[in-house]
Structure 1
Amino acid sequence: MIGKKRKLGRKIQDLKIGETFTTTSRVEDRDLLMYLGLTDDANPLYIQHDYATQTPFKQPVVPSVMLCGMASSIVSMHLPGPGSHIVEQQLSYPHPLYHYAEVRFHAEITDINQQEHQVILDMHGYDEEGKEVMKGKMTVIPPYEPTSMNAVSLENFY
């Protein structure tokens, strides 16, 4: 995206405990096929309806790592936003998410450590029925303040 100016996410001094971000997304075939193709993951539980119907799940499920990726994009794009980096995550997946489901993610800042330049996010995902499909914490380094607004390496960010 050279030539298009992008803003960095919010710096640590601009964040507050209790801030939240919520978004909803639908898992479509295209998303699943892109994930499976990228990772070369051919788990029949994810793609074979005939196999999945013979399991306790009764239908194909969305890979847990795909949910993690969706949560990661919330950090990268929204809270704190572009320039952020996840350094630790403790996530669990109490209920499966099924194909074509709508998932609602909710992220909340629960701690800010100025000295370590880190924030803790509680991250939760829910299906349409309100079942929790993902829960846990992410430790995130928010974007750093650039040293120079004219730095060549940051000409697309300011």
Structure 2
Amino acid sequence: MLQKNSKIGLTIDEITIGEKIQITEKIEDKDLLLYLGLTNDSNPLYIQHDYAATTPFKKPIVPTIMLNGIITSAVSKYIPGPGARIIEQHLKYLGPLYHYELFDTFLEVTEVNKENNTITVAVHSYDEQKKLVIEGNLTVTPPLSY
């Protein structure tokens, strides 16, 4: 049940092809430690500088699922917003994101299917050097209006 001042996101009738949003995040140590503690993920590539130095990455990288979380939370917050649900995703992780780098993500509505109450959202994410690190699309069900 929605609280008195809660707002749902855009419904299928309020969404248009071409709607866009850009979000910028920076992954800090506290974020990484929370993720690693929550998931019990002990991959040394994510946190151990000595180990990461021996890999092609040369330094610790951000887990891809953390980046995925930033993308999916943008759907929940902005396009289409609260009440939306991702039902399918196709993302390619083209390169690493390193600790403390800015992570720019662009989301754009590329398809609206009123019959199925779904939208397609294109995803393009870049590292601080403007190199594409994630691309793909999401199929999302916007919130229903009651």
Q: Do they superpose with TM above 0.5? A: yes
What is the distance in 2 between the residues matched to 1:3 and 1:130?
A: 40
2:91 counterpart of 1:109 = no
2:139 counterpart of 1:142 = no
Q: Larger radius of gyration, structure 1 or 2?
A: 1
What is the distance in 1 between the residues matched to 2:73 and 2:8?
A: 14
- Corresponding residue for 2:31? 31
Change (3 A) 1:42 1:93: same
- Superposition deviation, residue 4 in structure 1: 6.5
- Corresponding residue for 1:15? 15
Mark the runs of 5 or more structure 2 residues left unpaired by the alignment. Answer: none
2:39 counterpart of 1:50 = no
- Corresponding residue for 1:125? 125
Give the letter aligned to residue 99 of structure 1. Answer: H
What is the distance in 2 between the residues matched to 1:18 and 1:123?
A: 13
- Superposition deviation, residue 94 in structure 1: 0.4
2:89 counterpart of 1:76 = no
Moved over 4 A (4+): none
- C-alpha deviations, 1:92-127, integer Å up to 9, x for none? 110100001110010000001001000000011101
What is the distance in 1 between the residues matched to 2:145 and 2:36?
A: 36
- C-alpha deviations, 1:55-98, integer Å up to 9, x for none? 00000000011111100000000000000000000001101000
- Superposition deviation, residue 15 in structure 1: 0.4
What is the distance in 1 between the residues matched to 2:78 and 2:111?
A: 17
- Corresponding residue for 1:91? 91
User: What TM-score do you get using the length of structure 2 for normalisation?
Assistant: 0.96
What is the distance in 2 between the residues matched to 1:32 and 1:4?
A: 35
Identical pairs, percent: 48
User: What TM-score do you get using the length of structure 1 for normalisation?
Assistant: 0.89
Number of residues of Structure 1 aligned to a counterpart in Structure 2: 145
Mark the runs of 5 or more structure 1 residues left unpaired by the alignment. Answer: 147-158
